[in-house]
Structure 1
C-alpha cells in the first residue's frame, strides 16, 4: 500500500519516532511510506515533504489541504495516517475531498472544547497509544468506542538489549525528553525541586534548544543536546527518568526507569505496577493534565536507585506488548479494514468446480461451466487488467499485499479436483498466464459424495490422478489446497472425525507434492468452530468458505468468503461479480 504519514512538529517527538519506526517496518514489508511534516529529524526510508502544519491561519490551512490533495493524487496514496491534531485536521478535510481512507494515532491527551467535540477530525479510525487516551476520547470528546482501538508504540526491540550495570563513581540519572512545552516544565521542576545535582550526576538529552531559564543549571547538569545513540546513553545510566518510549526502551535494556510524564509520576516501573503504568503511557496521560506530588519525588527517586526487582521478567513483558513486528501486524490489520470498508472494495475470490465441453456433460447440480464460457471469462479478466494471486502468494508476501497500489488482483479457486480441471482448465491457465487454487479431495476417485446423495444424485465424474496433480503443481500455475478425504459436511462430524478428514488429506497432498499447503476449503462451505481451529492447528495459514465470513478477507483468515460462479454466469455476470464491491452490495441487499 502507499501510505502517507502526517506529523506536525518542530522538534523530535515520540510521535516522530513511532511514525518512522513503524514506517521503516512497513517499507520492509513491501509498502511505500511517505512523510509530510514541519520537520523530520529521525533517519527514515521514504520521501519526506515539508509542510508547515504549525502555521494555522485560515489561508494556511487551505494551503495545507490543497497540498495534501496534490500529494495524495500524485503518489497514489491509498491511506493517510496522521499523528497530531494539526495534521489530522487538514488530512481529514483532504481525505474527505479525495475519498481517501484515514487513520489517526492519538499520542496524548486531547484539548476539550466545543469545536473539537463536534469535529474530531480523526478519520475512519483512531488508534490510542494507551488506555488513558482511549478513555479520554470517549468520555471527554464523545468519540464512539467502536471507532477507537489501542495502538501501542512499536519498538525495534533488537536495538535495545540488556546491558551490564554501569560502574559509576556516583549515580548517573538521565532525563530524556523535550525542554519545551509541558515536558520542558516537568524537566525544569525536576532539576529545580527534586534532584540533588551535587549528589547525582544528571544528564539531559533533548533535541530542543536550551531555553534561557535552564541556563542556571548548566554548571551542575550536563545538557547533551540531541543524542543520536540513545541506547548508549541509557547504558551508562543508573536511573532513567522519562515517559512513553523512553521508559519502554530503557526497560528493554534492563535499566531502572522512573516513569514521570506530563500527567502522572508512577515512579519506578516494576512488575507490580507495569499494567497501570502502561495504561498511562508511563505517566504521560492521565485524567488531569498534571497530578504529581513533586515534594515526594526526591525520596522516591532516591529509593528507586536502591530497589531490587526482576528486570529480565519486566523487559520480557514490555517486549511482548511493544514488539515492532506485532505492532506492525496490528497496524496492517487496521489499514486493511479501513481501506476495504471505506472503499467497499475487496479482492474478488471466485469459485468454480468442474468444466464441460458439451451439453451431454452437464450435471444435475449447478457446479459446471462450459469451457468456451470459461475462456470468455479469462479474456474479460485479461482485458480488464487483472492479475491472479494464490494463497501461497499471500502467505509469502502478507495479506496486505493484495491491496498493492496500481494492481487489480483476483483469486481463482476450483473445488474438488475433477479430471476436467486438468483437461480443460489447465490449458487455459497456460494460454492466459493465470494462476488458480484447486482444492483436492484425496480419498475418492470420483464424486461419490454427490453420486450417492439420496435426495439429488449427481452423475459420476472422475477426479484427477496423482500424475496430473503433480504436473499442474510443477507448472507453477496451480496451488493445491486441502479439501478433506471424502468431502463430508464437516459441521456434522465430531472434532476427532474432522481431524482425520483434514489431517490425512493434507498429509497425502503434501507427500505427493513435496511442499506445504497454504489453504484449505470447507466442503460445501459447511464448518463450525472446531473446523476453523483444526485448520489453524494443522498449519494452514488460510481456510476458505463459500458465502459466509467477513466482507474483508483478512478479518478472519479461517473463514474467507468466496463468490460462486454458476453455469449461467456469463461475461456480464462475471463483470458484476469481480468489480470488488459485489459482496458488499449483495450482503446489504
Structure 2
C-alpha cells in the first residue's frame, strides 16, 4: 500500500518519532511510505516532501490542499495518515476531494471550540494514543465512539535493554523533550521549583534552542542538546523525567522514571499507577492543562532518585502494550478497515464447483459451468488485468498485500474436488497462468452427499484420485484446502463429529500433498462457532464460507465471504461480480437497506 504520513512541526516531536518508527516498520512489511512535513529529522525510509503546515493563513491552507492533492495523484497514494491538527485539516479536505481514505493519530489534547465540534477534520478514523484523549474527543468534541480506536505509540523495544544502575558520584537527573510550548513551560517550572541543581547533575536533552528564560540556569544545568542515542543517555541517569514516549522508552531501559507532562504529574511510575500513566500518556493528557503541584513533585523526585531501577512488572507492561510489531499490525488492520469501508471495494473470492464439456454431464441441482464459459471467464480476467492469489500468499505476505498499489487481485476457489477439476480446469490454469484453491472431500470417491440426498437426488460425479491431487499440488498452480470427509452440514453435528470430519480430512490431504494445508471450506457454507473454533485449533489460518461473513476480507479469517458462480453466470455476470463492490451491494440488498 502507498501511504502518506503527514506532520506539522518545526522541531523533533514525539509525533515524528511515532510516524517514522511505524513508517519504517511498514516499509519492512512491503508498503511504500511517503512523508510530508515542515521538517523531518528522524531516520526514515521513503521520500520526504517539505510543506509549511505551520503557516496557517487561508491562502496558505488552500495551497497546502492543492499540494497534497498533487502528491496523492502523482504517487498513487492509497491512504493518508496525519499526525497533527494543522496537517489533518488540510489532509482532510484533500482526501475528501480525491476520495482517499484517511486516518489521524491524535497525540495530544485538542482545542475545544464550536467549529472544531462541527468539523473534526480527522478523516475516516481517529486514533488517540491513550484513553484520556479518547474521552476528551467524545465528551468535549462530540466525536462518536465508533470513529475512534486507541492506538498506542509503537516502539522498537529491541533498541531498549534494561541497564544496570549507573555509578555516579552525583545523582544524574535527565530531562528529555523539547523546550518550546507547554513542554518548555513544564521544564522551566521543574528547574525553578522542583529540582536542586546543587544536589543533582541535571542534564537536559532537547532539540530546541533554550530561550532567554533559561539563561538563569545555564551555569547550573547541563543543556546537552539533541542526541541520537537516547537509550545511552538514559542509561547514565539515576532518574529520567519525561512524559509520553520518553517515559515509555525510559521504562523499557529499566530506569526509575518520573512521569510528569503537560497536564498532570503521575510521579514515579510503579505497578500501582502504570495503567493511569498509560491512560494519560504519562502525564501529557489530563482533564485540564498543567494541573501540577511542583512543591509536591520536588519531594517525590528527591525520594525517587535513590532507586536502582524501575519494577520489572512495569517494564513488562510497557513491552506488552507498546511493542512495535503489535502496534503496526493493529494499524494495518485499521488501514484495511478504513480503505475497504471508504472505497467499498474488496478482492473478489469467486467459488466454482464442477466443470463440464458435454451437455449430458450437466448436474440436476448442483452448480456447474461449461468449460467454454470458464475459458471466457479467464479471458475476461486477463483483459481486466487480474492476478490470482491463494491463501498461502496471504500466509506469507499478510492480507494487506491484496491492496498493493497498481495491482488487481482475485481468488479462484473450487469446492468438493471433482475429477473434472483435473481434466478440464487444470489445463486452463496452465494455459492462462492462473492459480486456484481447491477444497477437497477425501472420505468418499464420488458426490455421495448429493447422490443420496432424499428428494433431490443428483447425478454421480467422481472425485479426484490422490495421484491427480498430488500432480496438481506439485504444479504450483493449485493450493488444496480442507473440506471434510463426507461433506456434512457441520452445524448439525456434535463437536466430536465435527472434529473428526475436519481433522481426518486435513490429515489425509496433507499426507497426499506432503505439506500443511492453509485454509478450510465449510460444506454448503454451513457452520457454527464450534466449526470455526475447530478449524483454528487444527492449524488452518483461514476458513471460507459462502454467502455469510463480513464484506471485508480481513475482518474474520474464519468466515471469509465468497461469490458463487452458477451455470448462468456469463461473461457480463462475472464482470458484475468481480468489479469489487458486489458483496457490498448484495449485503445491502439482503438487509433491505
My pick for the range that moved more, 490-499 or 184-193, is 490-499
TM (norm. structure 1) is 0.99
Q: Distance in 2 between matches of 1:155 and 1:120?
A: 28
Q: 1:535 matched to which residue of 2?
A: 535
Q: 1:209, CA displacement in angstroms?
A: 1.1
User: Residue 525 of structure 2 contacts residue 546 of structure 2 at CA under 8 Å; is this kept in 1?
Assistant: yes
Give secondary structure in 2 for the equivalent of 1:297. Answer: helix
Q: Distance in 2 between matches of 1:55 and 1:309?
A: 44
Q: 1:394 matched to which residue of 2?
A: 394
Q: 1:198 matched to which residue of 2?
A: 198
Give secondary structure in 2 for the equivalent of 1:140. Answer: helix
User: Residue 280 of structure 1 contacts residue 286 of structure 1 at CA under 8 Å; is this kept in 2?
Assistant: yes
Q: Deviations over 1:410-430 (max 9, x none)?
A: 000000111000000000000
Q: 1:306, CA displacement in angstroms?
A: 3.7
Q: 1:308, CA displacement in angstroms?
A: 7.3
Q: Distance in 1 between matches of 2:511 and 2:216?
A: 76
Q: 1:454, CA displacement in angstroms?
A: 1.2
Q: 1:359, CA displacement in angstroms?
A: 1.1
Q: Distance in 2 between matches of 1:3 and 1:88?
A: 14
Give matches, 1:283-432, under 5 Å: 283-306=283-306, 311-432=311-432
Ranges in structure 1 where 5+ consecutive residues have no aligned partner: none
User: Residue 256 of structure 2 contacts residue 308 of structure 2 at CA under 8 Å; is this kept in 1?
Assistant: no
Q: 1:164, CA displacement in angstroms?
A: 1.1
User: Residue 4 of structure 1 contacts residue 36 of structure 1 at CA under 8 Å; is this kept in 2?
Assistant: yes
**Runs of 4+ residues deviating >6 angstroms:** none
Q: Distance in 2 between matches of 1:515 and 1:47?
A: 41
Q: 1:310, CA displacement in angstroms?
A: 6.3
Ranges in structure 2 where 5+ consecutive residues have no aligned partner: none
Q: Distance in 1 between matches of 2:33 and 2:119?
A: 27
Q: 1:455, CA displacement in angstroms?
A: 2.7
Q: 1:452 matched to which residue of 2?
A: 452
Give secondary structure in 2 for the equivalent of 1:30. Answer: coil
User: Residue 5 of structure 1 contacts residue 83 of structure 1 at CA under 8 Å; is this kept in 2?
Assistant: yes
Q: 1:116 matched to which residue of 2?
A: 116
My pick for the range that moved more, 567-576 or 455-464, is 455-464
**Number of equivalenced pairs:** 589
Give secondary structure in 2 for the equivalent of 1:174. Answer: strand
User: Residue 366 of structure 1 contacts residue 567 of structure 1 at CA under 8 Å; is this kept in 2?
Assistant: no
Q: 1:537, CA displacement in angstroms?
A: 1.5
Q: 1:309, CA displacement in angstroms?
A: 7.5
Give secondary structure in 2 for the equivalent of 1:547. Answer: coil
Give secondary structure in 2 for the equivalent of 1:499. Answer: helix
Q: Distance in 1 between matches of 2:308 and 2:180?
A: 34
- Asked if 1:434 is matched to 2:451, the reply is no
Q: Distance in 1 between matches of 2:265 and 2:455?
A: 72
Q: 2:273 matched to which residue of 1?
A: 273
Q: Distance in 2 between matches of 1:319 and 1:442?
A: 46
Q: 1:473 matched to which residue of 2?
A: 473
Q: Distance in 1 between matches of 2:277 and 2:495?
A: 43
Q: Distance in 1 between matches of 2:581 and 2:587?
A: 10
Q: CA, structure 1 residues 139+339, in 2 after alignment: closer, same or farther (shift >3 Å)?
A: same
Q: 2:170 matched to which residue of 1?
A: 170
User: Residue 255 of structure 2 contacts residue 310 of structure 2 at CA under 8 Å; is this kept in 1?
Assistant: no
Two-structure CA RMSD over aligned residues (Å)? 0.9
TM (norm. structure 2) is 0.98
Q: Distance in 1 between matches of 2:486 and 2:406?
A: 41
Q: 1:305, CA displacement in angstroms?
A: 2.4
Q: Distance in 2 between matches of 1:193 and 1:299?
A: 11
Q: 1:486, CA displacement in angstroms?
A: 1.2
Q: Deviations over 1:54-74 (max 9, x none)?
A: 000111001000000000000
Q: 1:366, CA displacement in angstroms?
A: 3.7
User: Residue 259 of structure 2 contacts residue 282 of structure 2 at CA under 8 Å; is this kept in 1?
Assistant: yes
Give secondary structure in 2 for the equivalent of 1:410. Answer: strand
Give secondary structure in 2 for the equivalent of 1:40. Answer: coil
Q: Distance in 2 between matches of 1:335 and 1:437?
A: 27
Q: Distance in 1 between matches of 2:542 and 2:174?
A: 48
